[in-house]
Structure 1
Amino acid sequence: MIDSGLESIWRAIREDVRVQQSNPLSGSDLAAFVAAFEASSMRGAADVLDLTQSAVTKRVLALERRLGVALLERGRFGVRPTEAGRVLYPEAKQALAALREAEEALADHRLHAGESLALAASHTIGEYLLPGWLAGFRATAPTVHAQVAIVNSAGVLAALRARRAEIGFVEGLDPLDGLDVVTVRHDEVAVVVAAGHRWARRRSLRAAELLREPYVAREAGSGTRIVAAAALAAVGVEVRPGLELASTESVKRALGSGGFGLLSRLAVETEERGGTLRTVPLRDLPLRRALRAVRDPRRRLPRPAERFWRWLGERAEEEERGSAPAAAGAATAPRSPTSSRGSC
């Protein structure tokens, strides 16, 4: 049983969530609260939502101000719900589920009604490969309008599950069980330094040498960072970031002040040609990875997405056989393909 004060809170919450159309609770604030409730920490909620910890905290505080009641207790233990938080949690889950259903229904209607193509891509693929692939695809389907969300690999898979994306592109080590997978290209992660760095003229480095220099890293959820960390851990080396940045471009700019990065060679091709950055291979430790396109086989794709999925596979097969038109090149078609279901 809950006392009369909590009953009043419960009634107010239900009225806000279900009835007050003129001033409803924020879906993003509710999502932050639910994630923190389930993870028992703001950091865990931030990882789930692909946000910064401060952003999650601000959203929970905004919800508490809106309701006029504390929902979570903070401490060294992380966070735990107050009585009011426990009352709100099932209602918030129900409200978020209703919002997702509404969004999915509208998205399906919009995508089936038009020539839209909803994609989600990890940073390396989305910034350095996908624009060229889409240009090649649009030559065969000029009426298709692509919308691309660029997030880390975990965010790509979340977008697929939430039906915000029809096809995703990932570069990390996340499990892909139950998904259709096409390996669209292979990539190499390399040590990257500024042209004036003392390593710039080295032919190679031992992995242990990385411990002697500051590491400028991508954020914790980055597929590039995860692949590099796993390979280094296999030889007993753990590099700790001296600086974490949310984008590859930020890492490249920061390297001008010293230190090293672990980045895709694709991401630094322009800087290498311009002479501002250098890549240095690790001796006896090739950091190769597969770049993959993924889709949910349980979902019937709209016509534009189905065409693009076939295009990716067909062009990849042509490249593998060496019969793709020369004009396609690396910029407009994937390379080194393999297809599977649930591999990784």
Structure 2
Amino acid sequence: MALPPRVSDLTSFDLLLSVARLGSIGRAAAAHQMSQPAASARLRQLERQLGARLLERQARGTQLTTVGEVVAGWAQPVVDRAADLEAGIAALRRDRATQLRIAASLTVAEYLLPGWLIALRTADPETVTTLSCGNSAEVAVQVLGGQADIGFVEGPAVPAGVEAREVARDELAVVVAPSHPWARRRRVRPAELAATPLLSREAGSGTREAWERAVRAQVDIELAAPMLEMSSTTAIKAAAIGGIGPAVLSVRAVAAELAAGTLVRLSAPGLDLTRRLRAIWPAGQPVRGAAGDLLAIALRT
């Protein structure tokens, strides 16, 4: 309900309490960082609202009337609770300003976020960051559920219920061990890739969604079931290096292995294996505080 008009102005009651404590309208005005005429005007307005005389002006200062003492006694706990409320809100804002909860897909978490977080730490050393890694579907669930202030996904489509900004581009690579038969010809046809069981991320992974969508855009056959599903990029790389089968992974994830020759990259003519990496947050909610700072860093790097 709305506050009654006679008690809606807590500043005037607080000013009355200061007069009682300091014995002077001038000293009370100074404590409230206002001029004495402004303080006197507020107190006269309070007396008119209450319909009672609250102050007696004397040669050596100002004191409260009997009615003023009663009103001050009623006002004191209300003003104290208002101060408690303000302190609590300030503490809440400080906590939210110094804590940042991030959810990110593996590619972003492993290959992009470290640099962004270093820049954020340099700009704001007081920010405490927590990072939760998962596939793109899991990241969207955390953002929509309020467990993360901002998320980063790598799927080909924007999840429902969020707003998104592209923060980087990525490219997928078909890779095999040097001993794999495909390594000698250095290329694979889309139909052949579709028909071959691969080492794959789990359902809901942005990497898996991106390459499956790219293949389906070129061939009209059902994709083979994965040879092996794993939620770890590192595990998929190890399996591919061991010759278990082909894999499709971010070029960022396999750069070191390609340079060392432990994996071989194949061309896949006709397949568009580029993808967008996006920041996401709940639709209709602006990105503020440390989350906004992180987004700005990601957009400019």
**Residues 152 and 280 of structure 2 are in contact (CA less than 8 Å); yes or no, is this contact kept in structure 1?**
yes
Paired AA for residue 112 in structure 1: D
Q: For the structure 1 residues 150 and 272, does the alpha-carbon distance in structure 2 shift closer, same or farther, using more than 3 Å as the test?
A: same
Q: Distance in 2 between matches of 1:148 and 1:110?
A: 21
Stretches of structure 2 that go unaligned for 5 or more consecutive residues are: 1-90
Answer yes or no: is 1:291 the counterpart of 2:274.
no
User: Which secondary structure does the structure 2 equivalent of 1:254 belong to?
Assistant: helix
Task: Specify the alignment match of 2:239 in structure 1.
Answer: 254
Paired AA for residue 251 in structure 1: I
**Residues 116 and 145 of structure 1 are in contact (CA less than 8 Å); yes or no, is this contact kept in structure 2?**
yes
1:236 CA drift (Å): 2.0
Q: Distance in 2 between matches of 1:253 and 1:114?
A: 40
* Per-residue deviation, residues 85-115 of structure 1 (Å, max 9, x unmatched): xxxxxxxxxxxxxxxxxxxxxxx94873551
* Per-residue deviation, residues 289-344 of structure 1 (Å, max 9, x unmatched): 1010112253355522222223333x1xxxxxxxxxxxxxxxxx2xxxxxxxxxxx
Paired AA for residue 153 in structure 2: V
Answer yes or no: is 1:264 the counterpart of 2:250.
yes
Task: Specify the alignment match of 2:207 in structure 1.
Answer: 224
Answer yes or no: is 1:171 the counterpart of 2:121.
no
The one of 220, 227, 231 equivalent to 1:236 is 220
User: Which secondary structure does the structure 1 equivalent of 2:227 belong to?
Assistant: strand
Paired AA for residue 263 in structure 2: L
Paired AA for residue 152 in structure 1: N
**Residues 97 and 289 of structure 2 are in contact (CA less than 8 Å); yes or no, is this contact kept in structure 1?**
no
Q: Distance in 1 between matches of 2:94 and 2:190?
A: 48
Aligned sequence identity (%): 40
**Residues 156 and 276 of structure 2 are in contact (CA less than 8 Å); yes or no, is this contact kept in structure 1?**
no
TM-score where L is the length of structure 2: 0.63
Q: For the structure 1 residues 137 and 291, does the alpha-carbon distance in structure 2 shift closer, same or farther, using more than 3 Å as the test?
A: same
Q: Distance in 2 between matches of 1:187 and 1:259?
A: 23
The one of 122, 126, 139 equivalent to 1:156 is 139
Q: Distance in 2 between matches of 1:244 and 1:209?
A: 19
* Per-residue deviation, residues 203-235 of structure 1 (Å, max 9, x unmatched): 422112225644111111211111111111122
TM-score where L is the length of structure 1: 0.56
1:202 CA drift (Å): 3.0
Task: Specify the alignment match of 2:121 in structure 1.
Answer: 138
Pairs within 5 Å for 1:90-239: 109=92, 112-113=95-96, 115-210=98-193, 213-234=196-217, 235-237=219-221, 238-239=223-224
* Per-residue deviation, residues 148-184 of structure 1 (Å, max 9, x unmatched): 1001111111111111111100111344455332111
Q: Distance in 2 between matches of 1:194 and 1:290?
A: 27
User: Which secondary structure does the structure 1 equivalent of 2:100 belong to?
Assistant: strand
1:239 CA drift (Å): 2.8
**Residues 214 and 258 of structure 1 are in contact (CA less than 8 Å); yes or no, is this contact kept in structure 2?**
no
Task: Specify the alignment match of 1:329 in structure 2.
Answer: none
1:262 CA drift (Å): 1.2
**Residues 160 and 166 of structure 1 are in contact (CA less than 8 Å); yes or no, is this contact kept in structure 2?**
yes
* Per-residue deviation, residues 184-207 of structure 1 (Å, max 9, x unmatched): 111111211112222224342211
Q: Distance in 1 between matches of 2:262 and 2:228?
A: 20
Q: Distance in 2 between matches of 1:195 and 1:189?
A: 18
Q: Distance in 2 between matches of 1:175 and 1:269?
A: 27
CA RMSD of aligned residues (A): 2.2
Q: Distance in 1 between matches of 2:131 and 2:179?
A: 36
Aligned residues: 208
Paired AA for residue 229 in structure 2: E
Worse-matched range after superposition: 288-297 or 174-183:
174-183
Q: For the structure 1 residues 292 and 300, does the alpha-carbon distance in structure 2 shift closer, same or farther, using more than 3 Å as the test?
A: closer
